[in-house]
Amino acid sequence: MRSSFRVERRTEARLLCSDLVTLSWRDPAGKSRQEIVNLEDISRSGACVQSEVAVEERTKVEITMGTITLRGQVRYSRRDELGYFIGVLFESGSRWSREAYEPKHLFDPRTLVRKQRNGS
């Protein structure tokens, strides 16, 4: 569970999930790096992954999920007691869709709000 408060910056719905994906990037020395990370949440324009290693802000990365690879840039990398939470903004030509790849344990938190409004 994340301990720090963050301002929501995505304009699309952020869906919670838990799935192992591959994060690839080049470190400051130019060495190719690859880690298996946990996909925490995703939207059409970005994602948050949990990693055991930090990735510097503004680093170009690729996230491979199943058969698709999305390209983006690290917007933040925050240390937590569980590791690093890394926010990625996808490039304009690289957008996620549920049809292309559906993460395991996908949950739309807006369903709770709708249930509360409907009295369920």
Q: What proportions of the chain, in percent to the nearest 5, are helix, strand and coil?
A: 5, 50, 45
pLDDT digits (tens, 9 = 90+) for 44-95: 999 999 999 999 999 999 999 999 999 999 999 999 999 999 999 999 999 9
Q: How far is CA 20 from CA 31, 64, 66, 119, in A?
A: 23, 10, 10, 35
Residue 112 has a pLDDT of: 74
In this predicted structure, the answer to whether residue 24 has a pLDDT above a threshold of 70 is yes
Please report which confidence band the pLDDT of residue 3 belongs to, taking 50, 70 and 90 as the band edges: very low
Mean pLDDT across 22-46: 97
State the pLDDT confidence band at 119, using cuts at 50, 70 and 90: low
Our CA dihedral for 28, 32, 34, 39, rounded to 10 degrees, sits at 50
Mean pLDDT, residues 14-42 = 97
Domain ranges of the chain: 15-94+103-117
Q: Please answer whether residues 70 and 94 qualify as being in contact, where contact means their C-beta atoms are separated by less than 8 angstroms.
A: yes
Min mean pLDDT across 38-47, 61-70, 90-99, 111-120 is at 111-120
Whole-structure pTM value: 0.84
Tokens linked to 88: 């990625």
SS3 100: coil
User: Out of 3.40.1390.10, 2.40.50.140, 3.90.1010.10, 2.40.10.220, which CATH number does the structure's domain 15-94+103-117 have?
Assistant: 2.40.10.220
How many angstroms separate the Cα of 83 from the Cα of each of 54, 67, 99, 108?
8, 26, 30, 24
